[in-house]
Chains A and B, each alone.
Chain A
Amino acid sequence: MKTFFEKVWQDHVITSLGDADLLQVDRLVLHELSGSQAVRALAEANRKPMAKEQVFTVIEHLISTRPGRGPTESASKSGPIMIETTRRASIDWGFHFIDYNDPRQGIAHVVAPELGIAFPGATLVCCDSHTSTVGGVGALAWGIGASEAEHVLATQTLAQSRPKTMRVTFDGKLQPGVYAKDMILALIGQVGAQGGIGYAVEYAGEAVRALPIEGRLTLCNMAIEFQAKYGFVPPDEVTLEYLRGREFSPKGAAWDAAAAYWLSLATDPGASFDLEVRVDCNTLAPQVTWGTSPQQVTSIEGTVPRPAEAADEKALGYMRLEAGTPLAGLKVDVAYIGSCTNARLSDLRAAADVLRGRKVAPGVTAICVPGSTPVKAAAEAEGLDRVFIDAGFEWHESACGFCGHIGDNRFADLRVVSTTNRNFEGRQGPKTRTHLASPATVAASAVAGCIADARVLTLSPALPQGGGRNAFARRGSA
């Protein structure tokens, strides 16, 4: 009896190195932020890529999101050179290359499942800690450093020590208005920001099986936020349905063989894990972070807790919050919908459901950066862009955008409610105070001008439409 993880790991062991195994890497994904370092180091060492057809490059980290952007336009001073170095090397070496203006372009972790670059049982690595996102389609994926990427380029292998296994079972059913983002934030609150160190994490349980692939990608995206390098949902029929017909998915008889193989990777009943964690979803409410670590999180109905340790106190100082303050009602300056965590079509739909017929509160900057160009196109085909723009949102081209601070100071010293995955000090700008939440919560907060519970808007038809502020007046101070 084996777990999914054990099967996939075993499938890729070329040889044992003692306390580590040399693993075959099925897919290497590069982007211009760290990929540029890896390709340059490889060239300087006079080496060549070993399997160029297994390498994919996407321009996404530093490229501008401005509509009409140019080929090297970037908020980062060194963006142009990094973009150009990566572009040149990728073309010269014959990698699969997805440039800034390719209709398939987008954030690597969004693009990889969309194109079938990631697939069940694949080992996939990328110079980015959120690479585990694509565990949502059953890949074993993890973030690596630039030296490791250079090693993969040269050998298509990587030496890794085998982690322990953890299973997180999400029991029960999500209530309306509660999303995968709330599940993962609640889990991190429960196990702590270090709870996953040394573990590969399988997400299981009724609530996970009920999630569409996009929600599973969100769950897996934030594995690293509790220090699990690997997070995944073993493949099932939902996974197959999602991957069928994608550009790099196998076709015809090859598909049938692959599909059968992939389903056989599921964890055997009775297989055991080093650690089991359970989260109850029946009573789960939308979650919002209040601090500078994702573990500093509470329900949207909650208040800023009393500091339990020195780090909490430091976080409260940075966030300019006092214990006892209700999260709902906290005034925000910026509402941001974007990133590899929560900017796929279902996320944009959830936000649009809140925004339809409503306006962003005066004084709030609201920005939407779709997770990929295909997501943007699909949203536009449904008219979602009109919903966002009519509400007062900016509608951008796809890239990492404002998720991390690369030079644009638009969010400096402001309070941001954001669908991203990191609320670290300075992550979105100097002195920027980030509250992580789901797209629905961010949209509701944009309308209310303060952190707000989307369920009050969308699930209470009696409340006035388009009067966001009024709708929230009863929730306390704005």
Chain B
Amino acid sequence: MEAFTRVTGIAAPLVRINIDTDQIIPTLFLGGTDAKGYGAHLFHGWRFLPDGRPNPEFVLNQPPFDRAQVLLADRNFGCGSSRERAPKALREFGFRAIVAPSYGGIFFNNCYRNGMVPVELPIEAVREIAAEVDANPAAQVTVDLEALKVISPSGKVYPFTAPTTLRGMLLAGVDEIELTLGKQSEIEGFREKDRARRPWAYLPSESDP
């Protein structure tokens, strides 16, 4: 898994509520079984005009935000469909961090598994940072997962909290499956006891004789 410690870069303001994963990447572009190829369709409906040309009104088409690594958003970002292509599309575009008051729960978990940190800050803080960016779009915002801080262009520091387990995983870039497989004996032990208690939860295999 891709690790993340901190990023300092351009921050794009998209401070709207309820931006759902159908907007982040429409179902139409979920094609294929690949892990990649989604960044080109990020925010497709907003980013492109009906004829396929970039929509000049959309923030991510306006330099320097086309190089943004931090996304500023409002509450309930990433709500809706569980599609993991949503964080994948954001990551492929270049984002490493999102700063918003709250997130869709599945999306929140998916971010951590795709090298990107979803930072929770109150909307007032998001707006303050967005105001600084509005005044100076080229200014850099830092998101530091190790220090649990967001630093605005003017140097104002906003501490945040993150779930310990997910944070540890992302900082170290560990392979979560490997980590769990290390607990194999505990898992086996649990399954044995559980099977005695809830036998109906365990089915015979279809392909077994």
Contact = CB atoms under 8 A, between A and B. Distances in A.
A304 to B, nearest CB: 18
Given A17-B165, A45-B177, A154-B181, A85 B205 contact: no
Interface stretch (A46-54, A167-175, A213-221, A279-287): A46-54
Interface in B141-190: 163-166, 176-177, 180-181, 183, 186-187, 190
Contacts of B23: 424-426
Given A24-B190, A41-B35, A129 B81 contact: yes
Q: Is the interface on chain B under 10, 10 to 19, 20 to 34, or 35 or more residues?
A: 35 or more
Contact of A405 (B28, B109, B194): B28
Contacts of B166: 20
A147 B84 contact: yes
Given A26-B201, A54-B202, A426-B26, A37 B207 contact: no
B187 A156 contact: yes
A114 interface: no
A426 B76 CA distance: 18
Interface in B71-111: 75-76, 79-84, 87, 102-106, 109-110
A223 to B, nearest CB: 11
Contacts of B183: 14-15, 22
B80 A14 contact: no
Contacts of B187: 14, 22, 24, 155-157
Interface residues on A, range: 35 or more
Interface string B25-41: 01110111111000000
A78 B165 contact: no
Given A159-B180, A194-B102, A18 B164 contact: yes
A53 B204 contact: yes
B51 interface: no
A30 interface: no
Contact of A193 (B18, B27, B81): B18
B191 A24 contact: yes
B177 to A, nearest CB: 5
Contact of A14 (B28, B109, B190): B190
A193 B79 contact: yes
B54 interface: no
A72 B163 CA distance: 42
A34 interface: yes
Contacts of B194: 11, 24
Interface stretch (A120-128, A388-396, A438-446): A120-128
Given A424-B22, A426-B26, A94 B45 contact: no
A34 B80 contact: no
Contact of A154 (B18, B177, B205): B177
Contacts of A309: 17
A119 B45 CA distance: 40
B43 to A, nearest CB: 11
A36 B16 CA distance: 32
Given A54-B203, A129-B106, A150-B177, A36 B33 contact: yes
Contacts of B176: 147, 151, 159
Interface string B109-142: 1100110000000000000000000000000000
Interface stretch (A138-146, A338-346, A363-371): A138-146
Contacts of B201: 26, 119, 122
Contacts of B203: 53-54, 96, 248
A422 B82 CA distance: 13
A147 B114 contact: yes
Interface in A4-62: 11, 14-15, 17-20, 22, 24, 26, 33-34, 36-37, 40-41, 45, 47, 52-54
A353 to B, nearest CB: 32
Contact of A34 (B83, B103, B199): B83
Interface string A351-376: 00000000000000000000000000
6 contacts: A40-B34, A77-B31, A143-B82, A145-B113, A155-B181, A424-B23
Given A127-B82, A426-B22, 10 more contacts: A14-B186, A22-B187, A52-B205, A54-B203, A94-B206, A193-B79, A405-B27, A424-B80, A426-B23, A427-B22
